[in-house]
Amino acid sequence: GAVVHWFKCDLRTQDNKGLHMASERAREKGVPLICMHIISPQDFEAHFTSPVRVDFVLRTLEVLKEDLGKLDIPLYVETIEKRKVIPGRILELLKEWNASHLYANAEYEVDELRREAKMVHSCLENGIAMEVVADTCVVSPGELSSGTGKQYSVYSPWFRAWTAHVHSNTYLLDLFDAPNKNPPNARANLTKLFDTAIPAAPANKKLTDEEKKRFRSMWPPGEHEAQARLSKFATQAISSYRDKRNLPAACATSSLSVHFASGTLSARTAIRTARSHNTSKSLNAGQEGIQTWISEVAWRDFYKHVLAHWPYVCMNKPFKPEYTNIEWEYNSAHFAAWCEGRTGYPIVDAAMRQLNHCGYMHNRCRMIVASFLAKHLLIDWRMGERYFMEHLVDGDFASNNGGWGFSASTGVDPQPYFRIFNPLLQSEKFDKEGVYIRKWVKELEGVEGSAIHEPYARGMGKKAREQGYPERIVEHKESRERCLLRYKQGLGRE
Ligand code: FAD
């Protein structure tokens, strides 16, 4: 017999609830624990998973395989082309391994939830117990509801409830130990499984050699890296997080999103660690930094709760149905300029180039470029949402969809539609000296002073033109008016 853990977006051995439970079950039954991971090119296609994220996952699997190997636990990895075939193939493997139990941590996207619900039944019909475990959030969806018994759709009251819930259920932050070592004969009996290699990226998600080199030095894989990054952040930067987190040039955020997204770090561990650095009893700047960071990590929980409660957000629908009828522009030249960072708005262009170069973008800039696409260009926000998924190393459906809904004012707890970010003011406020812009927009490197925020209007047009920096593709004032009108029309208010 055997007990099996199916790794998905939880690629770590420490503080992994499903894996821990599987390991305990195996120990109780005196059978080995087998771990598996399925790679599905069709799933990647359906979720627009970026090649850089696929590469990160594959490299993380190498780390995971090695760590598990030290515990005599095999990690079996198989590529399955057609996603429909996955449940059947897993059942076949479970039978082949004579497994009595299958454990997996829950994912809240509709396709995954439905698939797992069906699998629980088909396993049961075959005498196998499948347990789907709530692990990814600190407070799981379903745990919090407002006074009237409804799911919160506004973050602030939700966060108050979240905080109170964590305070009164401190076990929610307890650590789940890494799995036990397998029995001594496991290695000999399961040699074939130990011998399977981690596959290369599927054809639809390959990186070029140049990209491999670039991304691999930026995003070292695995849970040890995540732990190291977390402790460095918690000891060196978290205390100034509140004051600097909105400044893209400051590198003041944790850069842990890739690890949360792939599950190389658990949210529990992140929050436990942050709290443990809070040594002060009085409210000081350092403590406020910690509080603010915890409230940001909680946004991740919030958007997963939203996804679990309103699954139609997974189906290309805006959270607010009344926003369905906005008439979007499908101007492909504008969309291409946005994607490539050639809009003529330096802060927007810097941010898009950071995304294209790193597979990552600073949070403030994500809000600026998302708002710019949806409101200044009036391009369907779902095109931007998709472009983000196709390029982000930390692409996560719930957070990305939530962020786009916020920025386009179509989502849960959104910006009111009539609040339209002015890219120039954002730029002057959050990248005052233009350090971030000069880093990413090479054509503007030589532009000095405040002209960096709008070179053509501030006497640096000649230089910008010589260097090949484009003029604005739309004007702020006109775009703003067009946007207000179109949103009003869409809402039937005009
Ligand atoms: P830190 O500031 O150090 O925050 C710590 C962690 O808290 C993050 O790693 C993340 O897990 C969580 N977090 C912080 N802010 C948010 C937020 N607004 N929403 C949800 N979780 C948050 N985040 C993703 O992980 N994946 C995405 O695909 C994604 N897409 C986004 C799209 C848009 C349009 C916007 C506005 C935001 C998006 N975010 C997304 C949220 C946020 O921008 C990133 O989590 C953050 O920039 C990651 O950097 P960091 O790890 O240094 O964050």
Query: Predicted confidence band at 149 (pLDDT cuts at 50, 70, 90)?
Result: confident
pLDDT at 283: 67
Query: Predicted confidence band at 3 (pLDDT cuts at 50, 70, 90)?
Result: very high
Residues 254 and 350 both lie in one domain: no
d(C-alpha 312, C-alpha 92), whole Å: 32
For residue 195, is it within any domain? no
296 part of the active site: yes
For residue 190, is it within any domain? no
For residue 314, is it within any domain? no
User: For residue 475, what is the domain's CATH number?
Assistant: 1.10.579.10
Segment 472-487 shows an average pLDDT of 97
| Given the residues 116, 225, 328, 390, the one annotated as active site | 328
Closest Cα partner for 22 from 91, 105, 102?
102
Lowest mean pLDDT among 141-150, 237-246, 352-361, 380-389: 141-150
pLDDT at 163: 96
Residues 300 and 328 both lie in one domain: no
Ligand 1 pocket, 399 CB below 6 A? yes
Q: Is residue 148 predicted with pLDDT exceeding 90?
A: no
Residues 356 and 474 both lie in one domain: yes
Q: Is residue 493 predicted with pLDDT exceeding 90?
A: no
More confident residue, 316 or 29: 29
| Given the residues 6, 158, 381, 440, the one annotated as active site | 381
Mutation choice for ligand 1 from 232, 241, 257, 358, CB with most ligand atoms inside 8 A: 257
Ligand 1 pocket, 300 CB below 6 A? yes
Segment 70-89 shows an average pLDDT of 96
Residues 267 and 341 both lie in one domain: no
For residue 181, is it within any domain? no
Q: Is residue 117 predicted with pLDDT exceeding 80?
A: yes
Torsion of CA 363, 365, 368, 370, to 10 degrees: -70
Number of domains the chain is built from: 3
Residues 367 and 452 both lie in one domain: yes
Ligand 1 pocket, 264 CB below 6 A? no
328 part of the active site: yes
Ligand 1 pocket, 407 CB below 6 A? yes
Residues 298 and 328 both lie in one domain: no
452-458 own/partner pairs: CB under 8 Å, 24+ apart: 452/346, 453/346, 453/347, 453/424, 453/427, 453/428, 454/345, 454/346, 454/424, 455/346, 456/344
162 part of the active site: no
d(C-alpha 195, C-alpha 76), whole Å: 9
Residue 364's domain comprises 321-490
Write the CB contacts of 391 (distance below 8 Å, at least 6 apart in sequence). 50, 52, 355, 356, 359
Q: Per residue in 166-221, pLDDT tens?
A: 999 999 999 999 999 999 999 999 999 999 999 999 998 999 999 999 999 999 99
Helix, strand and coil in the chain, % to nearest 5: 55, 5, 35
Ligand 1 pocket, 367 CB below 6 A? yes
For residue 16, is it within any domain? yes
Segment 228-239 shows an average pLDDT of 96
| Given the residues 78, 288, 296, 428, the one annotated as active site | 296
What would the two tokens of residue 365 be? 């800039």
Single residue among 259, 279, 309 that ends a domain in this structure: 309
Q: Per residue in 386-409, pLDDT tens?
A: 999 999 999 999 999 999 999 999
| Given the residues 180, 331, 356, 363, the one annotated as active site | 363
Ligand 1 pocket, 370 CB below 6 A? yes
d(C-alpha 3, C-alpha 176), whole Å: 18
pLDDT at 104: 98
Residues 240 and 303 both lie in one domain: yes
For residue 215, is it within any domain? no
d(C-alpha 181, C-alpha 183), whole Å: 7
Q: Is the dihedral of CA 458, 462, 464, 465 positive or negative?
A: positive
Closest Cα partner for 482 from 313, 332, 321, 331?
331
Residues 455 and 327 both lie in one domain: yes
ipTM surpasses cut 0.85:
yes
The 3-state DSSP class for residue 148 equals coil
Residues 363 and 291 both lie in one domain: no
Residues 290 and 370 both lie in one domain: no
Segment 137-149 shows an average pLDDT of 92
Q: Per residue in 253-290, pLDDT tens?
A: 999 999 999 999 999 999 999 999 987 766 676 789 99
Query: Predicted confidence band at 249 (pLDDT cuts at 50, 70, 90)?
Result: very high
Lowest mean pLDDT among 90-104, 236-250, 315-329, 363-377: 315-329
381 part of the active site: yes
Residues 235 and 327 both lie in one domain: no
